[in-house]
Amino acid sequence: MRERSLTEIFLSEVAGTLEVFSKEQYPPLFNPSLAVACSLVLACSVSFSKELLTPLTAVIISVVLLVAFKGDVSLWLRPVLFTLFVASLVSVPLLFIREGKPLAEVRLGSFSLYVTAPGLEEAALLVLRTVSAAAIFSAVLVHIGWRGVIDGLRGLRVPQELILMTGFVMKYVPVFLRDVCRTLAAREARILKKPSYLESWGLLSTVVGDIIVKGYWRAFRVEMALKARGFEGHFSASNSTPQKVGINDIALLVATVVVVLSTAVGV
């Protein structure tokens, strides 16, 4: 069996993470407009919090939403774990650049780096805020699906061009990443020896060129398909169906108010 390269593994994981938001959920469990607005407020409140109370509250509310509405935990975990991985890598320098009481020493040859208490605290808070924001944002969006996001943006009177761009990004970025993985695997299968780093970068550059050409061709076909559904030679997006506010939406509003109040208390 062919051993996958690190680039292919990473792109495959990114595609799998983004595919979570491109799935269908019909009918949506929340009012789309309210869900999109609340998810943005929740994510912003958690991201800019300064205390542990708000991120922990957001994680608890995310789990409660998934359990109460029987959401798919595996779908929710993919973006959360990917965010945890990226945030952990980004926060590593904070362990060493903050002044304070040293807790541990890391030797790199003749150099020594010291993990400080303020650095560890800042790194942990950064990771917790990032993961909590991703958790609460994903917990809401997995219950409305990508079509619910589009309907929600329409209900919020977002410009039509931005709505179309958002829909295409959510639906086709995972498709393009899968194309990259397949093209990269096909190129590497034709190499008899393990490529060097320089040869690997050259291989990736040729893959990028192919994907750009395929992207233009796919965009042209999508444009023709959309125009073929209109009687005037252009695509006109239909208006979303109005939805009433139900008990699920009230619960989401209460959760949003709780997180915002915890942020205000922390400030």
- Residues 201-206: contacts with CB under 8 Å, at least 24 apart: 204/7
> Which whole number is the average pLDDT over 70-83?
86
Task: Kindly give, in sequence order, each residue whose CB lies less than 8 Å from that of residue 197, ignoring residues fewer than 6 positions away.
Answer: none
| Beta-bridge mates of residue 114 | 105
Q: What is the DSSP letter of 26?
A: S
Domain boundaries, the chain: 6-266
Alpha-carbon distance 244 to 235, whole Å?
28
**What size, in residues, is the chain?**
267
- 63 contact partners, CB below 8 Å, separation of at least 6: 139
CB 47, CB 130: distance < 8 Å: yes
Q: How confident is the model at residue 242 (pLDDT cuts 50, 70, 90)?
A: low
Give me the mean pLDDT over the 29-57 stretch: 89
The predicted structure's pLDDT at residue 128: 92
Q: What is the structure's pLDDT at 135? A: 92
Q: Within its chain, how far is the Cα of 202 from the centroid?
A: 29
* pLDDT, tens only, 7-34: 778 888 888 888 888 777 777 788 899 9
Residue 123 or residue 238, greater confidence: 123
66 or 3: which leads in pLDDT: 66
Show the beta-strand stretches assigned E in the chain.
102-108, 111-116
CA distance 113 to 182: 41
Mean residue pLDDT across the chain: 83
Q: Do residues 34 and 253 lie in contact, with contact meaning Cβ atoms separated by under 8 Å?
A: yes
Share of the chain above pLDDT 70, in %: 92
In whole angstroms, give the CA distance from residue 105 to residue 17. 35
Supply the pLDDT for residue 238.
53
HSE, side-chain direction, 13 A CA sphere, residue 34 = 20
129-150: pLDDT as tens digits: 999 999 999 998 888 888 888 8
Per-range mean pLDDT, top range of 67-71, 146-150, 229-233, 242-246: 146-150
C-alpha 39/C-alpha 138 separation (Å) is 8
Contacts of 184 (CB under 8 A, 6+ apart): 5, 7, 8, 11, 203, 204, 207
Closest of 187, 243, 233, 222 to residue 26, by C-alpha: 243
Q: Closest Cα partner for 182 from 32, 12, 51?
A: 12
In what helix (H) or strand (E) does residue 91 lie, and over which residues does it extend? Answer: helix 73-91
